[in-house]
Structure 1
């Protein structure tokens, strides 16, 4: 009966940006469902805090965290060495590591380059390495966590919008490229979510959640579980999730 209740039991996943927010919530939920997980982030304290939560669930043998910056080619190679060593095979990639960014006139060239490297090049590089392994295994599933900003295109976050619009186009094209290999591709576009990326304080975020103006990271984790739990015949190509009172 356990296999029926946990359809993802025995699967493996790489979660980028897994130490905070959506990535961390997805990690804890998927691990509870029997998924073996490798995750990474850039902050040592956040990584340690996440592993503390994993240990409380007594799942430390099934979850491994490393420090890495997805903007670096060397770091991507480092991560996938651990994918091969710790996971052995790769069923799922949750492309989630991303940075917020302000408008064009408020952002330096150096900051623009770094955000693009993380938010776009990092997604492409991880998807490429994941797809190589999934092709050899006869299939897999890549979820690109985007943003409603790709559609709403607000004027105060121009650089961020550029990256998320890029991920929107990339996801649509990538599905066409990888579909013949049996690899699913899903674009998940949340609305406002109470995470470290938000400019508002944690207290303000909790208030917005109570007013139905902001999602919790756990809401998006549940969406990820739903996407990955669908039968092989069923592709969730695009999923938009917004707070009830975020009418945009």
Structure 2
């Protein structure tokens, strides 16, 4: 599918990976809709997308965990933009902390944002795409949804859920002409870690495994044109995830030692 004049909607599009996906889609001629809670930031992303594409772009506020906010977003897109061709579920967050020390309110909220809110939003988008008999849903999960490590009990649980949801959804929507892609990145050099790991020690400890958001965004946007089932980056962690499945005991040992950098 060529992205020229296609409507590409990106949640969590105010910064980091989501912002870069917006720019890469705009470069390929898409009509970009960036959505996030921080309206001051998505306004700047919208302007940059317009410069890159030479087309209209849009910025709408969205709180994924709030059903009313989700409903308002879909109404605005329907009224002002039109049918969605590509939908990227990128909104989400994580906190690296021992499970026994985590506030139950934080646990609930992480599931509301990363899983439940995303599912509610995706359901409405999928209904629309089924009516138009085409579309592409891209869910940004995480390698943490394949390899769980210490201090990620809750975050990994949400991403395991995203993967399970996406795998079933892919099978349900394929006969309707809708593609579903999951993206499983390792650590990305973004503001995600300002909240996940305020100490800043994690990114420095994983060094060569850290991904550049613009390069990953290029890979994701290419998959909008040539759909893939799954994108795992960096490749070495994708390979490690396969080994983890085949040799779980060894995987547990590696996850608790070599990959335990938090």
How high is the TM-score relative to the length of structure 2?
0.82
Deviation of 1:192 (Å): 1.0
Q: Does 1:44 align with 2:36?
A: no
Corresponding residue for residue 228 of structure 1: 224
Corresponding residue for residue 258 of structure 2: none
Q: Does 1:69 align with 2:63?
A: yes
1:100 corresponds to which of 81, 94, 110? 94
Deviations 1:156-177 (A, max 9, x none): 1111000000001011000111
Query: C-alpha separation between the residues in 2 aligned to 1:245 and 1:93?
Result: 26
Corresponding residue for residue 232 of structure 2: 240
Aligned pairs, how many?
Answer: 236
Could you say what secondary structure the match of 1:212 adopts?
A: helix
CA contact (8 A) 1:140 1:182 kept: yes
**Higher helix residue share:** 2
Query: C-alpha separation between the residues in 2 aligned to 1:65 and 1:85?
Result: 14
Deviation of 1:208 (Å): 8.1
Corresponding residue for residue 248 of structure 2: none
Query: C-alpha separation between the residues in 2 aligned to 1:150 and 1:173?
Result: 15
Corresponding residue for residue 3 of structure 1: none
C-alpha distance 227-122 of structure 1, shift in aligned 2 (>3 A): same
CA contact (8 A) 1:192 1:243 kept: no
Q: Does 1:218 align with 2:210?
A: no
CA contact (8 A) 1:213 1:246 kept: no
Deviation of 1:48 (Å): 3.2
Deviations 1:166-201 (A, max 9, x none): 001011000111111111111110111111112368
Query: C-alpha separation between the residues in 1 aligned to 2:51 and 2:43?
Result: 12
C-alpha distance 159-83 of structure 1, shift in aligned 2 (>3 A): same
Query: C-alpha separation between the residues in 2 aligned to 1:157 and 1:84?
Result: 37
Structure 1 vs Structure 2 CA RMSD: 2.5
C-alpha distance 182-245 of structure 1, shift in aligned 2 (>3 A): closer
Deviation of 1:121 (Å): 1.0
Deviation of 1:17 (Å): 0.5
Could you say what secondary structure the match of 2:208 adopts?
A: coil
CA contact (8 A) 2:4 2:30 kept: yes
Q: Does 1:149 align with 2:144?
A: yes
Deviation of 1:245 (Å): 8.8
Query: C-alpha separation between the residues in 1 aligned to 2:33 and 2:199?
Result: 29
